[in-house]
A = this chain, B = another copy of it.
């Protein structure tokens, strides 16, 4: 399998990306890596860090899309950027997955417009891993790609999240909860009220009913479903738990797990090939983890399984 990695994306690129590749290769050599970016810089760093290059192809990219650039405009105008080239390689089958910690908007635009959706998917989605107090982890989706949703979309998010939880997180028969303001059926805004019966009747998932804000961090649901507005706010609030506990020197094992580096980025679910978006401040560990998630998604045919489940 061939995995493409944008070496120019993120605040500490290309150095941390190179170190992440080094970590990955030290543990694992399943995938061929296509490292996309400034060839000269990348080769110098590979040499400096004595990274074995047997399974590495460096692909030169003349341009970089900055973190603050307008996604659609930048992708259109910077055809020689590492992100544009990364999607080109993915779309033409030269690679089987693409990873970047660069401009999130450009990654989303690239994923949605250069890679087709999985057959049957109404709207792709992005998710995040939420650490649970009991040591486990759940998946929350959508976390920002779809600020306004229809009930049918949430129903598909539940299916895609369940497949991901099962194959990537290793949770058998994952429990699906609908984010809501109360436990009883009939509670919630119009969207949640209309979504509940769809989830209840969906034979592809293990729906356990509504979940509330108090359930997000505890062991109640493995797949937590909502529209991207609420999900994005939960995600960004949860991320501050690590920062706050760090600032307050709490050294607590649980709050430490809110360090996003542990989870290796956010896959775009519902597009036909694995696309993984990392945080801007990704370090070596995050890059390593993202490569491993991409590898696992290819190995387990996560997207094929999603397609089957949505038939």
Contacts and interface: CB of A to CB of B under 8 A. Distances in A.
A66 to B, nearest CB: 16
Contacts of A147: 181, 188-190, 192
Interface centre among A148, A234, A237 (most CB of B within 10 A): A237
Contacts of A218: 240
Contacts of A244: 133, 217, 254
A107 interface: no
A156 to B, nearest CB: 18
A232 B230 CA distance: 10
A11 interface: no
B237 A181 contact: no
B254 A233 contact: no
Interface string A241-255: 100100110101010
Contacts of A188: 147, 229
Contacts of A240: 213-214, 216-218
A233 B236 CA distance: 13
A218 B235 CA distance: 15
A218 B218 CA distance: 23
A227 B148 contact: no
Given A148-B189, A181-B144, A237 B236 contact: no
Given A148-B190, A181-B232, A189-B229, A248 B252 contact: yes
21 contacts: A133-B247, A147-B188, A179-B233, A181-B232, A181-B233, A189-B227, A212-B232, A213-B232, A213-B233, A213-B235, A213-B236, A213-B240, A214-B236, A214-B240, A216-B237, A217-B240, A217-B244, A218-B240, A229-B230, A248-B254, A250-B252
Interface of A: 133, 144, 147-148, 179-181, 188-190, 192, 212-214, 216-218, 227-230, 232-241, 244, 247-248, 250, 252, 254
Given A147-B188, A250-B250, 4 more contacts: A148-B189, A213-B237, A214-B237, A248-B252
